[in-house]
Amino acid sequence: MPTIVSKVKEGVLKLSAVDQDTNAVLTADVADVSCQVVNCRIEPADSGSSASDQTETLGGCLVPQDSAEGDPDRIVGTAISDHNVVSGAETGDLLIPFTWRNRNKKIKWEFIPRLDPSPEDEAPYVTQQMAFEGLAICSAMVIGGEVNAEIQHDFDFDIVDGTLVLPERYGGPSAPFAAKATKSVKE
């Protein structure tokens, strides 16, 4: 079997505000931030520290760290700062303003690492690889940084609910993945 090389390229990251009770998408606040993002990934809860990590106290006691069981899956990445908004300009597809408008609220997210052209389809692109979607708790991103430089900031959203969507050629249709976000959502 030949080596398969996958790239995160020409993909999609869309974020949508949702009604906090019904999780219905609020179409007035949808942001396609794909062109701002330079790094995006989904990190499973078990990718962080191991359950055997311990903290030593001043008195010499060893306190075991909580296992990854309480940690949520996360969608994380880095984006080029887009906080400069011209007065009266559309702000719908700006990531930083979106995160501040929806800070500590549930949001819907859709992440497609790569769109591949399909020769048999008339549309220019169809999803040929995995796609992910779900709900997350939105954290506001940092504003500002180094003077007169291209600024990049990280984003990190705890996943509340997620689904892996597989194309038919990969055995689709979809499968939920467990997430354990424990942050409270502001009412």
In a domain, 151, yes or no: yes
Q: Per-residue confidence at 142, pLDDT binned at 50, 70, 90?
A: very high
* Whole-number pLDDT of residue 82: 83
Is it the case that residue 125 has pLDDT exceeding 50?
no
Confidence band of 140 (pLDDT split at 50, 70, 90): very high
pLDDT 10s digits, 111-123: 988 766 555 544 4
Determine the structural domain holding residue 101 and report its residue range. 12-46+70-177
Domain count, the chain: 1
The predicted model scores a pTM of: 0.73
Question: By percentage, how much of the chain surpasses pLDDT 70?
Answer: 70
- Tally Cβ neighbours within 10 Å of residue 27: 8
Q: Express each pLDDT in 15-41 by its tens digit.
A: 999 999 999 999 889 999 998 999 999
Residue 89 located in a structural domain: yes
Task: Compute the CA torsion angle 117, 27, 39, 155 (nearest 10 deg).
Answer: -170
If you average pLDDT over every residue of the chain, what do you get? Answer: 78
pLDDT of residue 17: 95
Helix (H) / strand (E) element for 132: namely strand 131-137
Does residue 26 sit within a domain? yes
**Nearest Cα to Cα of residue 148 among 77, 90, 78, 81:** 81
Report the range of poorest mean pLDDT among 65-79, 81-95, 141-155. Answer: 81-95
Query: In the prediction, which pLDDT does 72 show?
Result: 83
pLDDT higher at 8 or 48: 8
Does residue 27 fall inside a structural domain? Answer: yes
pLDDT at residue 118 in the model: 53
Residues 6+ apart with CB under 8 A from 127: 112, 115, 116, 165, 167
Helix (H) or strand (E) holding 76: strand 74-80
Phi, psi torsion values for 100, nearest 5 degrees:
-75, -40
- Whether residue 187 lies inside any domain: the answer is no
In the DSSP assignment, the letter for residue 126 is: B
- Average pLDDT for 66-70: 53
pLDDT tens figures, 71-85: 788 999 999 988 776
Domain assignment present for residue 53? The answer is no
Query: Do 72 and 178 contact (CB within 8 A), yes or no?
Result: no
Distance CA 122, CA 128 (A): 14
Q: Cβ–Cβ contacts within 10 Å for residue 17, how many?
A: 20
What pLDDT is recorded for position 68? 46
The domain that holds 173 is classified in CATH as 2.30.110
Half-sphere exposure of 77 (CA within 13 A, CB side): 21
> Is there a domain that residue 54 lies in?
no
Q: Which two tokens stand for residue 113?
A: 């690492």
The verdict on residue 28 lying in a domain is yes
Band of residue 10 on the pLDDT scale cut at 50, 70, 90 = confident
Give phi and psi for 54, each to the nearest 5: -135, 155
